[in-house]
Chain A
């Protein structure tokens, strides 16, 4: 069962100014634009059903989006299309052949998949690999069947599962099936590995600007994508959770069917957040900014698994709410209470309230599903000794001082995976960090050594390489993107057109527009210097790490994952 709000980008105007597409199309996604014949075959996929080309503006034709924002890639059996540790901002459609999707729980089998096709001549002599081959054959047989799963959205895009082999969580996806949607929309880790299941497998990949424009101009496509997003996120969210490692795929599917996937807030939450910061409401009402997921005191009929985004855990005190901590992707809330309720037959209430910090996807796993799992295996949840099952122990930030926790959560710094935190008790303002940054980046420093301060900790205006990089949503050319393996958010200066969409979307003011010259040193066709977006790239490509941190003589700079409260707390203690 799926419900919840749509994945609104939080803007009513088109995501890109008309005319900018031509700029991004100067460099098509593939080596050359896709031919019209191939485009017509691609758009016959059910995912594109109902799209009316005339709904698109003249300078943003539907077929051109497919031709220039997409590419067709050929894979042979065992070739990896993407890894679960990759970051992605594109979606895929199988055009020919089939692919296998799997998660880390079957890492070993993935390795086998990766080599099976190439080396089966000698591998065939090893019994375990024969088992794998049989699994593949079984899955291939399932692939040829017509999908009947309740998770099908009627377009052929089955929600990545296969029940033929209960011991494996690998899934076969056949022709016209869609994958990679959740990471494309969330600009996050792929979360599962996909390999080609046969030789001559052809896959169509559509990059984020194309996905975004199709979603904007076609309601049918948007609805279908959102449904697909919810299905895939629900399955992947549960599959990624370590608590469910012990259950087979068909059971997991049953849990998913009983669970409710909900989306709170907007993908493009930063605009609303910035307005709130600029003009805080006088009555302190935060419902618009932080939608309530679960109110304090509500009866506990389900536990909550956070799929993505951040959730504030708070406790009502007098007229206000005290922040207890926060949850992020993979964290459970209320599971222990639910189990206690089931075991002792007492109804429980949520002791704390939950609010989405801007945007969050959650899965509500109902009491019946937990009961079902407990009946299957009484020790399913480790008799309360599983770290994720300890009631509120999953709540992060509990060890931090209250004011510091408020500072991090209120300012949404918990989004930062590599925030530049300066210990102002050690910083002597020598600017060596700024000079080192400039020396590494064509004499243009990528950060400003100032920012919001809490006691002696300053979160400098340097890109934090967010878990949820909202700056990427509105980029018309796709110039700002995640580095596939490191996840660093980087800007491709050759495609940046200086529109400033990323700078205005960044809720922390960490992207600024600078007049620069072209890489060749000249000033471009117009004879003038051009504006480009400038931000910290964590010295991408330099194995020695960020130059700023390396250059600080006084050990004042830390690059910290602020969502990892425990690590942050330890670092603070070490720095004392």
Chain B
């Protein structure tokens, strides 16, 4: 794996170096280098679009998607370098350019963050007992909520359960209704779980034997729900960053087309 990083990094650096040399030669020939590095930048951005199209066409024999993914990532680094060259490390001065600049930064940052997340989150998910597909989480969550409802409703009348029902109304009902403590889970914090379990444990002294049994069952449901929340938070994040990266990328490309048209409207194009 390290070998792959070194190899791909070296290839990307060489490609970037060669392209930059060509830009310098273009400049030496007393032409506007920003036109050339602009086109290189635009081509690199357009090339990266092919990655998502390749994923949508699995039947075509266009190589392994892993290779495309690597090309996408390293081409992204080259693109970022050429963006710096093209903007000459300066901030934009028009609204259109500001929009493009902002979208480009958003795409790059979300891409880098996304690459980090796709490498780190799967390992984090292994810390839980079993992996649940994100689309199954709402159903399992609803099932747990029903179980707890039944436990609490079943305890009413049979045992002295006012403490339990009170806790349910105040805390548990809301806890089981939807995913909770997303940020805490992303920080790997156990605090929310400990808080709710401590609250439940504090009821133990008020309950008789059947009540304590019910309490234990509810406690196991809370742990299971917390587990689901953990998975929801992490798997959700794995998907969420794409909702920033992809629309921003398409927005940037649309603005780039406008930018190219504008440039050619006001320059000789050489």
Cβ contact of A428, chosen from B61, B64, B65, B238, cutoff 8 A: B238
Q: Is the CB of A426 within 8 A of B122?
A: yes
Check if A553 is an interface residue, CB within 8 A of chain B.
yes
Within the complex, the shortest CB–CB distance from B201 to chain A, in Å, comes to: 32
Chain A facing B: main interface SS: loop
Q: Mark contacts of A408-442 with chain B using CB atoms, 8 A cut-off: 1 yes-contact digit, 0 otherwise.
A: 00000000000000001111111010011001100
Assign chain B's interface to a size class.
Answer: 20 to 34
Q: Is the CB of B69 within 8 A of A553?
A: yes
Check if B55 is an interface residue, CB within 8 A of chain A.
yes
Cβ contact of A552, chosen from B66, B121, B235, cutoff 8 A: B66
Check if B253 is an interface residue, CB within 8 A of chain A.
no
Task: Tell me the bound Cα distance from A550 to B63 in angstroms.
Answer: 7
Q: Is the CB of B65 within 8 A of A551?
A: yes
Contact A439 to B69, CB < 8 A, known contacts A424-B122, A427-B122, A456-B123: no
Cβ contact of A550, chosen from B64, B119, B134, B238, cutoff 8 A: B64
Check if A67 is an interface residue, CB within 8 A of chain B.
no
Hey, which chain B residues are within 8 Å of A386, CB to CB?
none
Q: Looking at the complex, which of B6-14, B125-133, B174-182, B191-199 is the stretch in contact with chain A?
A: B125-133
Q: Is the CB of B122 within 8 A of A425?
A: yes
Contact A576 to B134, CB < 8 A, known contacts A440-B59, A553-B66: no
Nearest residue in B to A549 (C-beta to C-beta)? B64
Q: Mark contacts of B48-82 with chain A using CB atoms, 8 A cut-off: 1 yes-contact digit, 0 otherwise.
A: 00000001001101011110110000000000000
Task: Tell me the bound Cα distance from A576 to B2 in angstroms.
Answer: 9
Chain B facing A: main interface SS: helix
Check if A554 is an interface residue, CB within 8 A of chain B.
yes
Task: Tell me the bound Cα distance from A500 to B243 in angstroms.
Answer: 42
Check if B118 is an interface residue, CB within 8 A of chain A.
yes
Q: Is the CB of B58 within 8 A of A435?
A: yes
Hey, which chain B residues are within 8 Å of A552, CB to CB?
64-66
Check if A555 is an interface residue, CB within 8 A of chain B.
yes
Q: Is the CB of A553 within 8 A of B65?
A: yes
Task: Tell me the bound Cα distance from A532 to B55 in angstroms.
Answer: 29
Hey, which chain A residues are within 8 Å of B118, CB to CB?
428, 554
Hey, which chain A residues are within 8 Å of B126, CB to CB?
424-425, 455-456
Task: Tell me the bound Cα distance from A265 to B228 in angstroms.
Answer: 43
Q: Is the CB of A551 within 8 A of B134?
A: no
Nearest residue in A to B130 (C-beta to C-beta)? A453
Nearest residue in A to B120 (C-beta to C-beta)? A425
Interface of chain B residues 92 through 124 with chain A (CB within 8 A): 118-119, 121-123
Hey, which chain A residues are within 8 Å of B61, CB to CB?
543-544
Q: Mark contacts of A533-571 with chain B using CB atoms, 8 A cut-off: 1 yes-contact digit, 0 otherwise.
A: 000000000011001011111111000000000000000
Check if A575 is an interface residue, CB within 8 A of chain B.
yes
Check if B1 is an interface residue, CB within 8 A of chain A.
yes
Task: Tell me the bound Cα distance from A87 to B88 in angstroms.
Answer: 65
Q: Is the CB of A432 within 8 A of B122?
A: no
Hey, which chain A residues are within 8 Å of B131, CB to CB?
424, 429, 450, 453
Nearest residue in A to B118 (C-beta to C-beta)? A428
Within the complex, the shortest CB–CB distance from A553 to chain B, in Å, comes to: 4
Greatest chain B CB density within 10 A among A427, A429, A550, A574 is at A429
Within the complex, the shortest CB–CB distance from B234 to chain A, in Å, comes to: 10
Interface of chain B residues 138 through 189 with chain A (CB within 8 A): none
Within the complex, the shortest CB–CB distance from B96 to chain A, in Å, comes to: 33
Task: Tell me the bound Cα distance from A426 to B126 in angstroms.
Answer: 11
Within the complex, the shortest CB–CB distance from B40 to chain A, in Å, comes to: 25
Cβ contact of B66, chosen from A428, A429, A435, A554, cutoff 8 A: A554
Q: Is the CB of A439 within 8 A of B59?
A: yes
Cβ contact of A436, chosen from B58, B125, B134, B235, cutoff 8 A: B58
Hey, which chain B residues are within 8 Å of A574, CB to CB?
1
Interface of chain B residues 14 through 71 with chain A (CB within 8 A): 55, 58-59, 61, 63-66, 68-69
Task: Tell me the bound Cα distance from A429 to B235 in angstroms.
Answer: 8
Hey, which chain A residues are within 8 Å of B121, CB to CB?
428
Within the complex, the shortest CB–CB distance from A441 to chain B, in Å, comes to: 10
Within the complex, the shortest CB–CB distance from A424 to chain B, in Å, comes to: 6
Q: Is the CB of A555 within 8 A of B59?
A: no
Q: Is the CB of A550 within 8 A of B65?
A: yes
Task: Tell me the bound Cα distance from A81 to B69 in angstroms.
Answer: 47
Q: Is the CB of A429 within 8 A of B133?
A: yes
Q: Is the CB of A575 within 8 A of B1?
A: yes
Task: Tell me the bound Cα distance from A86 to B43 in angstroms.
Answer: 50
Q: Is the CB of A432 within 8 A of B55?
A: yes
Task: Tell me the bound Cα distance from A226 to B68 in angstroms.
Answer: 54
Nearest residue in A to B4 (C-beta to C-beta)? A555
Within the complex, the shortest CB–CB distance from A444 to chain B, in Å, comes to: 14
Q: Is the CB of A439 within 8 A of B58?
A: yes
Task: Tell me the bound Cα distance from A429 to B1 in angstroms.
Answer: 21
Nearest residue in B to A548 (C-beta to C-beta)? B58
Task: Tell me the bound Cα distance from A426 to B118 in angstroms.
Answer: 7
**What 7 A-B pairs come out closest when comparing CB atoms?**
A436-B58, A553-B69, A555-B66, A553-B65, A425-B123, A551-B58, A544-B61
25 A-B pairs whose Cβ atoms sit less than 8 Å apart in the complex = A424-B125, A424-B126, A425-B126, A426-B122, A427-B122, A428-B121, A429-B131, A430-B238, A432-B55, A435-B58, A436-B58, A439-B58, A439-B59, A440-B59, A455-B126, A456-B123, A544-B61, A547-B58, A550-B65, A551-B65, A552-B64, A552-B65, A554-B66, A575-B1, A576-B1
> 15 other contacts beyond A426-B119, A426-B122, A428-B118, with CB at 8 A cut-off?
A424-B122, A428-B122, A436-B58, A436-B59, A455-B126, A547-B59, A549-B64, A550-B65, A551-B58, A551-B65, A552-B65, A552-B66, A553-B65, A553-B68, A574-B1
Interface set of B (CB-CB < 8 Å, partner A): 1, 55, 58-59, 61, 63-66, 68-69, 118-119, 121-123, 125-126, 131, 133-134, 235, 238
